[in-house]
Amino acid sequence: MTLISNGEASPRLRSQRSFVRLILFPFATLRGRLVVGAVVLWSLLCLVILMFGWQAGRLLVNETNHQHLRYEAELISNSITFQVNERFRELERLAERIPLPREGALLEQHAYTKEPLFEALLIFDLSSQVVDEWPIDGGRSGNSFADREYAQFMHAFKMPYVSEPLIGRITSTPLVLMLVPLYDEGRYTGFLGGLVNIKQSRLFNNFGQIRLGDGGYVTITTATGKRVYAPHQQEAIVTLPDNISPVLVQALDGWEGESLGRSVSGEPQLVAYRQIWPANWIVGVHLPQVQAEAPLIAGMKKITTYVWSVLVLVLPLVWGVIWLALRPLAHLARQVQELQDGHRSVLDIPTNTNELRRVIDVINATESARQVSLHDLAEREALLRGTLSASPQGMFVTNPRGQLTFINDALHELLGDEVPSSLQDWSDQIHRDDRQDVRTAWLRSLAKQTDFARQFRFLSVNQGMCWLDVQAAAVRVDDQFIGTVGTVRDITQHHHDYAQKRWEAEHDSLTGLLNRRGLTRHLEELLIQWQSTDKPTAIILFDLDHFKPVNDQGGHALGDQMLQQIASIVQSEIRSSDYAARQGGDEFAVLLPGCTPVRALTIAESLRASIAASFLEAEGRQWQVTASIGVSHFRHGDTTIDDVLSRADVASYRAKQSGRNKVESDVDV
């Protein structure tokens, strides 16, 4: 039984060994390696050509589709903007003929002529009650809508406005209202509104003719993140989720342009966004990337088939040429392998071929020099390790691949017992905000064999989070890169001192706000962003009215307390992304990145009201100040920050000259 089993096992084992030898045969000789190298080189060349063609084709396809999306987005946004402006013009013409809200005014002014533009027209009085409507049987007359945001906006700002999408209380249909104020000899008496049905209005019903293929589509979104139109949208008004594409986030902040983004479901797509400023909407044109690249993929499949067919035809010819050319070197290849394996110290090949003889002599001389270099390198390494071990500063040595081969006791003490040995382990302990930059710089220094110098945060086992200064120098022997030698210093205290000094240099010590230097730096950064991306940015400048009596009569301590209170009010009124600054004395400034002129005026008015409502009590007396506020924003043609600052300053001066406690803008927004 045992003999039979061994007899069956032996042929199986011999078969396995024969298969392994067959697989390894091409690598056993120089000839085989060259053939395999030629195959690999040819394959890589084909892959590079295909990859280059793919990338070039992809760039061309994306650019072509971006141009198409740009054209469609401009076409749609211009069309909707024109229709919105047309409705505003019609409402304003009608408002000029109705100075006072009263019943029957719409019928007298032939409101039915506006039927192609609006589903209904309403007249609101100062209490936000509907006093007249058309059609007259709409059921809205006599109802008050004072709690609606559009009514509050109209009473506060008295300017044309497109409301947020809403569900009508009477009809339960999705609507937006286009509103204009009513005036009687300059006196505000109420406002006129036109209702637009989101589902039925021609504002949103002409997108089926857009040439975007099977998967392309159009969306209309408000600046507050509510989607009022999308193909196959079940609900008329949809609030966007928090995890929307960063490109859409930029569009909600006022950005326009084309980019690569993702749909709500996470699929990659080409997008183009345009702003509809009169309505504060964003039109988006979307094209799935899969659809855009479908023709390119089909073409690349055909090209790939041709390339590999040529490869299959050429390989036998390459194999035959290499085989014939390297037959005389078979014996040399075998002895070189033995030399590499340490089975011999020199080549000893009896031959009369001069070319082969010279190759043998060169290899023998090289091997002798290599042995001498190895011995010398071992001595140098021992000397280096002794020197580094005695150093009181943390020091390390790596091989050419960046792996640690030596660290001294000082570095052990700094980093703890568990010292990382690989680049990945180092990366895991570097602060996540610094990790990618350090990793990229380290890999670049290894690839280019150059010095490395970085300061970064590091999670030390012994000391927790600390700042390290790492300096590494590339080491070469006979112009050959053999690794790096580096030093590690703990600079935590130095970094904290520097950060504190920088904060103090850019902040006002009394209020904690930015000072003039900090304001200038942030404003210059925002100007550069504006010049490259057209991202809107507004600035508010103001000084305090009646502050001198507070400071002179109440004393400097009371004046300082008043300035601190004003600083607190400013910080409570602005967004977390805004910057507040005290330029000196009672002069303040606010930077509003990504803020439109209309929104900036809203913030400025709220800030003015909060300051005017505040006061201090001291010595049985109330002390109160107001603010004369000037608002400006970046314009095309601004080359320095002085351009926008001077406009805001002029607007602030105009507010002070016209009675103080006012908000003035440098433009009519």
Q: 123 and 190 in contact (C-beta within 8 Å)?
A: yes
The radius of gyration of the chain from alpha carbons, rounded to an integer in Å, stands at 38
Q: Tokens 């091989």 correspond to what residue? A: 399
Kindly report, as residue ranges, where domains of CATH 3.30.70.270 are found in the chain: 507-665
Give the pairing type, strands 174-184 and 166-167: antiparallel
Q: Using CA atoms, how far apart are residues 130 and 190, in angstroms rounded to an integer? A: 10
Query: If you classify domain 1-310 with CATH, what class do you get?
Result: alpha beta
Q: 83 and 289 in contact (C-beta within 8 Å)?
A: no
- Amino acid 204 reads F
309: left (phi over 0), alpha (psi -120 to 50) or beta: alpha
Q: Using CA atoms, how far apart are residues 281 and 178, in angstroms rounded to an integer? A: 13
Averaged over successive runs of 10 residues, the pLDDT of the chain (669 residues) comes to 44 71 63 71 79 80 83 88 92 92 89 86 93 87 90 93 89 90 93 89 68 80 88 82 86 89 82 92 88 80 80 76 64 71 72 71 77 73 69 80 80 67 69 83 86 81 75 85 85 71 76 86 87 87 88 84 89 88 88 90 92 86 90 89 90 90 78
Q: Tokens 């390894």 correspond to what residue? A: 24
Measured N-to-C along each axis, helices 516-533 and 641-657 cross at an angle, to the nearest 10 degrees, of 110
Residue 71, SS3? helix
Considering the domain delimited by 391-496, tell me its CATH architecture.
2-Layer Sandwich (3.30)
Q: Using CA atoms, how far apart are residues 480 and 11, in angstroms rounded to an integer? A: 50
Q: 411 and 395 in contact (C-beta within 8 Å)?
A: yes
Q: Using CA atoms, how far apart are residues 8 and 27, in angstroms rounded to an integer? A: 31
Q: Using CA atoms, how far apart are residues 354 and 536, in angstroms rounded to an integer? A: 78
Q: Which has the closest alpha carbon to 178: 80, 253, 68, 34?
A: 80
CB under 8 Å to 197, separation ≥6 — which residues? 119, 173, 174, 175
Q: 234 and 297 in contact (C-beta within 8 Å)?
A: no
Q: Residue 614: in which H helix or E strand, if any?
A: none
Q: 634 and 642 in contact (C-beta within 8 Å)?
A: no
Q: Using CA atoms, how far apart are residues 444 and 466, in angstroms rounded to an integer? A: 24
Three-state secondary structure of 245-306: CHHHHHHHCCCCEEEEEECCCCCEEEEEEEEEHHHCEEEEEEEEHHHHHHHHHHHHHHHHHH
Q: Residue 595: in which H helix or E strand, if any?
A: none
Q: Tokens 């009896």 correspond to what residue? A: 350
Q: Using CA atoms, how far apart are residues 629 and 284, in angstroms rounded to an integer? A: 36
CB under 8 Å to 423, separation ≥6 — which residues? 402, 403, 439, 442, 443
- Output the six-digit token pair for 562: 């008043």
- Output the six-digit token pair for 348: 């000893």
CB under 8 Å to 295, separation ≥6 — which residues? 61
Residue 630, SS3? strand
pLDDT of residue 126: 93
End-to-end CA, the chain: 102
pLDDT of residue 434: 81
Q: Using CA atoms, how far apart are residues 377 and 482, in angstroms rounded to an integer? A: 10
Query: If you classify domain 507-665 with CATH, what class do you get?
Result: alpha beta
Q: Using CA atoms, how far apart are residues 68 and 23, in angstroms rounded to an integer? A: 53
Q: Which has the closest alpha carbon to 595: 550, 644, 658, 547?
A: 644
Q: 430 and 412 in contact (C-beta within 8 Å)?
A: no
Cis peptide preceding 26, ω within 30 of 0: no
54: left (phi over 0), alpha (psi -120 to 50) or beta: alpha
Kindly report, as residue ranges, where domains of CATH 3.30.450.20 are found in the chain: 1-310, 391-496
- Output the six-digit token pair for 655: 């507010």
Q: How many CB atoms lie within 10 A of CB 615?
A: 12
Three-state secondary structure of 436-476: HHHHHHHHHHHHHCCCEEEEEEEEECCCEEEEEEEEEEEEE
Q: Using CA atoms, how far apart are residues 12 and 18, in angstroms rounded to an integer? A: 10
Q: 539 and 555 in contact (C-beta within 8 Å)?
A: no
Q: Using CA atoms, how far apart are residues 388 and 137, in angstroms rounded to an integer? A: 94
Q: Which has the closest alpha carbon to 548: 558, 535, 539?
A: 558
Q: Using CA atoms, how far apart are residues 35 and 180, in angstroms rounded to an integer? A: 82
Q: 93 and 117 in contact (C-beta within 8 Å)?
A: no
